[in-house]
Amino acid sequence: MKSVAVVGLGYVGLTTAVGLAQLGHKVLGFDTDASKVSLLSDGKSPIYEEGMELALGTLIDSKNLNFTNHIEQVADSKPEFIFVCVATPQDKSGAANLTVLNSVTSQLSAIAPTDSILVVKSTVPVGTGRILAELMQRKDVFMASNPEFLREGTAMRDVAEPDRIVVGANSPGVAGRVLELYEGIDCPKIETSVESSELIKYAANAYLAMRLSFVNDIAELSEKTHANVDQVLQGMGMDKRIGTSFLKPGPGWGGSCFPKDTCALVSIANTVGANLPLVETAIASNRAASDRAVQAIVELAGGDLSNKLVAVWGVAFKAHTDDVRDSPALKIIEALLKHGAVVQAYDPIASVPEQTGLSKSSSALQAATGADVLAILTEWPEFSGVSPEETTKLMKNSAVFDARRILPESWRNHASEFRVLGGSSK
């Protein structure tokens, strides 16, 4: 059992704290947000993540996991490892904003015990680890980079059963010490330099985002050429070098990572005089994907959205999360409102933001009531079980756009028009 502190209790920090405590370590989670800490100390999760509250309850009872908003308590716990999991949001230029990270590092430099390791899990530009080491001015404290590859919605599983664990360090023996924390996890583990580890995270996210942009472009091409996109992607994915996962078309990729990390990677490349034209094109293709979804809704409304009522099912950036950061659904809703539409939105978990012209419905059927067009923008499984007959009867004009390809074909028999992103699956 090692003594570990986790600084910053957002998605990554919280799941890291829970994951390490589940591995048998004594973990103290720190966040400056007192209300978050008090919620967590009561075993309640500030984020929606399946299995999180159950795990919190067990670990808090076992006393392996505690939370605090007092940095002195972190110092008193004499952690051998301090995981830094603070946000690195995008600034105006597209680069990652490291203000919080830098200030946290200065604070930690005053309390980190001798021989402890500062493990950076926040996604940071290449070279940040080295800069933080200088900022620390502590020769007796080491730096390591240990990027997180969890996906929201499946975070608990991703932390317990990762595809791989990467630890970067530039001092001998440090990466090995961090990897010992994960002894209980059976997966490939690699030791790299800090710089490689930092770049692995960005390269992986940018590659996945690029893959999805390609898939979305192929979906559009399939629609225009009357090919069946499901068959095209199935046939493509059967090539082992391509694979079948992460191949689902949609109205664009969003969330708190891909949009920010692709822009940050382009910015890193620009800084060092390198070019990443493929990533830049993937970003542009992603904008086009949500524009196409808006265009489909405009067409279903007869070419003019002014004073039309659009029902939206799903505002989260993907299913199984309450996160709406950089959600394609919200981008699309924004555009619909600009076109003069009124929007009624429903999401099983995520909050619908307060905005003029946008109202929150308490069920899928309520959202559809009186609507001219219904758009499915997040792939929540409950939507595929809603009765097409009941829904379309409640609508004024029953035009339906399925941007996630989740509604059964039977909708075609009930909707006045039924359009599926990427074209029909028949």
Active site residue ranges: 257
* Residue 201: both structure tokens together: 């995270």
CB of 158 to ligand UGA, least distance (A): 7
Per rule CB under 6 A, is residue 247 in the interface with ligand UGA?
yes
Binding mask 286-325 toward ligand UGA (x if CB under 6 A, else -) reads: -------------------------------xx-------
CB of 248 to ligand UGA, least distance (A): 3
CB atoms within 10 A of CB 381: 10
Task: Write out the binding residues for ligand UGA, residues 253-282 only, by CB under 6 A.
Answer: 253-255, 257-258
Give the contacts of 200 (CB within 8 A, at least 6 positions apart): 147, 166, 168, 192
CB of 208 to ligand UGA, least distance (A): 6
Query: How far is 243 from 215, CA to CA, in rounded Å?
Result: 13
Distances (CA, A) of 139 to 116, 131, 294, 395, 421: 11, 14, 55, 67, 56
Query: How far is 309 from 312, CA to CA, in rounded Å?
Result: 10
* Residue 214: both structure tokens together: 């390609």
Is residue 229 helix, strand or coil?
helix
How many residues at the interface with ligand UGA, by CB under 6 A? 20
Query: How far is 419 from 332, CA to CA, in rounded Å?
Result: 16
Query: How far is 19 from 159, CA to CA, in rounded Å?
Result: 6
Give whichever of 169 and 324 is closer to ligand UGA, judged by the CB atom: 324
Give whichever of 129 and 255 is closer to ligand UGA, judged by the CB atom: 255
Give whichever of 151 and 339 is closer to ligand UGA, judged by the CB atom: 151
Give the contacts of 101 (CB within 8 A, at least 6 positions apart): 84, 86, 88, 120, 122, 124, 128, 132
CB of 3 to ligand UGA, least distance (A): 26
Give whichever of 113 and 246 is closer to ligand UGA, judged by the CB atom: 246
Give whichever of 309 and 377 is closer to ligand UGA, judged by the CB atom: 377
Beta-bridge mates of residue 118: 82, 143
CB–CB of 425/409 below 8 Å?
yes
Give whichever of 125 and 255 is closer to ligand UGA, judged by the CB atom: 255
Binding mask 177-216 toward ligand UGA (x if CB under 6 A, else -) reads: ----------------------------x--x---x----
Binding mask 131-160 toward ligand UGA (x if CB under 6 A, else -) reads: -----------------xxxxx--------
CB of 106 to ligand UGA, least distance (A): 25
Chain residues that interact with ligand UGA, rule: CB under 6 A: 123, 148-152, 205, 208, 212, 246-248, 250, 253-255, 257-258, 317-318
